[in-house]
Amino acid sequence: MVRDGGAVSLRYFNQTGWTAIFNGTDTETGRTVHVEGWDETSGTALVVDTKRGALRPVTDYEAFSHLERADQVVAAVPGGGGQVHWKDEGPGGTPLTEQVLAWLITSRGRATAITVDAQGHVENADSADTFIPPGEDPVS
């Protein structure tokens, strides 16, 4: 099962708090790459060049468009027995309830519930319809 994480996806979390956005072409979709650091001399954002195996300034890429803020995780708190519920995310559009594995706390003070399903897949629960506090029965 793959769920849309809503407006924020786990791919938008990184250490620097920034992502580089690259334009697509007629044959390739644009992409988002984590900013890994900053050039000490120019202050330019650096990304990993997988072909060279090195950091490279984003401005070296013709397709570079702009930078966008990403969330920085500053803490993780155990789920504490809470659950999240989706009205129609289970098999065939059935209801689905999962345990909150942990809460990720960002530098902006946002808390994101992280769940784990029966197969061990970890995902954010930003698209959940309801949060169920510890000790309460799941929504039916």
pLDDT at residue 5 in the model: 36
Position 139 pLDDT exceeds 70? no
Q: What is the mean pLDDT of the chain?
A: 82
Tens digits of residue pLDDT in 29-60: 568 888 999 999 999 999 999 899 999 999 99
Map out the domains of the chain as residue ranges.
Answer: 10-69, 73-132
Please determine, for residue 94, whether its predicted confidence score (pLDDT) is greater than 80: yes
Which DSSP category does 52 fall into?
T
Cβ atoms of 20 and 64 closer than 8 Å: yes
Two tokens, residue 110: 């946002």
- Which residues have C-beta within 8 Å of that of residue 13, sequence separation ≥ 6? 70, 71, 72, 73, 104, 106
Cα torsion 122, 124, 129, 132 to 10°: value is 70
